[in-house]
Structure 1
Amino acid sequence: MYPLLFRTVLSRMDPESAHHAAMAVIRMLGVPPFSWAARALTRPAPELATSALGLRFESPFGVAAGFDKDVKGAAGLFALGFGHVEVGTLTAIPQPGNPRPRLFRLIPDRAVINRMGFNNHGAEAAAERLRRLRRRSRRAVLGVNIGKSRVVDVAEATADYVRSASLLAPLADYLVVNVSSPNTPGLRGLQAVETLRPLLHAVHNAAGTTPLLVKIAPDLADDEVEAVARLAVELGLAGLIATNTTISREGLATDPATVAAAGDGGLSGAPLRTRSLEVLRLVRAAVPADFCVVSVGGVETAAHVRERMDAGATLVQGYTAFLYRGPLWARQINRGLAKRG
């Protein structure tokens, strides 16, 4: 049913408009009695429960940051069977993001290019929505992903991140420092160890007892991946997320003119699968066994999730395949994981 809907309707809509339409439905699914009905259909099998970051996850599979940027659909996503929802990326200062169009489908590759630019209503507004959500339910595991405000100079990035962390960490189950989006000028330069160290140290202090993770790009060289992983352990972070989107366009099946017309931005989806798995293995080899490693990038099926866990992932996230698989995607993955046992 969903593949037909995608081919005949959704694929012809502007991608961002289609996303907003989907979010309206997801928000509705987060409200009783719709949430009760959805949970009855999608609740993960008990044997999928996973412990990480001092938390209990109903499933190891969750939604990556970027889908619910403003903490508006988390309850509905939880109702659809995801084991956790990572909201954001949120910035201390509200910002509209980059001009539209800024989201593009590469259907032959089951991929997306985005240059959204951290469009969100800011950390203070998100904090209020998180408070309301927490009052309704504590069951869903909620991660909060924070980034640099675009108007803030890179030299002042630490104070900007600390402001967001101070507002959001008390309301988050875990907090993520995003220094790896390609859509904020200068941001990826913060992944260099010499600049990342003071930033993570300051945010770690601001986060208090909330587990802190850092999210890295797939475009780092292998030795840079290993250096960031070792730094995260040294600073006492709870984990690392690998990976964000890529700026690479290699090996795409989509017509080159279509890719060129989409322009700059981060590529996500199936083409990222191989590199994301490589980075996962590099990180796992560089960190202790009890260090939380979250793998994301090119994940679409239960077999992909199992592959990541076999390679050392503690948790696995997805986003882009939601567009191609539809609202029962998490249910499909959870059932596939439970079937294998």
Structure 2
Amino acid sequence: MHTSDHKSIKYSILDLAPVTEGSEASDSFRRTLELAQLAEELGYHRYWLAEHHNMPGVSSSATSLVIGHVAGGTSRIRVGSGGIMLPNHAPLAIAEQFGTLESLYPGRIDLGLGRAPGSDQPASRALRRGLTAGGQDFPELLSELRGYFDPSLGTAAPGVRAVPGEGLDIPIWLLGSSGFSAELAGQLGLPFSFASHFAPDYLLPALSLYRSSFKPSRHLDKPYAMVAINIVAADTERTAEWLATSQQLQFLNIIRGRTGKLQPPVDSMDGLLSPQEQAALSNTLRYSIVGTKEMIKQRLPEIQQATGADEFIISSQIFDHEARLNSFRLAAEAWSELQLSR
């Protein structure tokens, strides 16, 4: 069991920039900025966007550009990637992009890195061209990338400098849904974020591996773990459960190997999925809180105690934009009430 004071636990947002049925990417970017501005007002700590490709329901494929859009429309909240899928890119290009972002928005940019493709195989091939697939080269790519920011590491390509980028202190996070990045983050003394919002099975072993392999670095003197969870909150439990069906339908499509835009809620999931799919869905979404503010206040401390999380990052795939804003508003209220009750 882990305990940590709620006062010191930060809360953040992971936005998949959803494209809802009947809308376009341009609508999604407008809604993303509105959510980020509200998040800043409500005291959320950071706002991250994820790289996905070949998915009609996710518009943040050019992640660095959307980060710039959000950072430009806000003034205090940290903005970053959750994450950039490094094997899709030349490390120099990422160093330059994030060097540019940090130069434009100093002290506000995070670089979260993953080693999954963030896409299907055809899209991976289209993106990577001559790059190695599979993510086995992630440690080398990471080492090269870090060398562009900090030439003293001596790991950048010989004779190549990242301008802008070199000398900038941009926090690098490793993200993962398995033990690989957990152990690497620990060995390098970097902060670690686990994707328990869709891959809950390995959460506790990965956190344990991260903490046991942690070596202090100039970035961190002790482990810092962020845990991703889904929250769908509404004024009544029934409304929250109804809103949450959009997210369930999205995961059901993923289980079935389909993609599409985020669908409107349905009155019942009965008859839409087999018992096996229901079991898979329940397991995938077990780090989800669906309900009222009171339910968040009850469930969050339980998850925190089980994981020892230093920070939570909340994902919320809700079809209706106003309902989504309200869900994040309720989550923030729950948070501050939990803090006041300590």
Same fold (TM over 0.5): no
TM-score range, shorter chain: 0.3 to 0.5
Q: Greater CA radius of gyration, 1 or 2?
A: 2
Normalised TM-score (structure 2) = 0.42
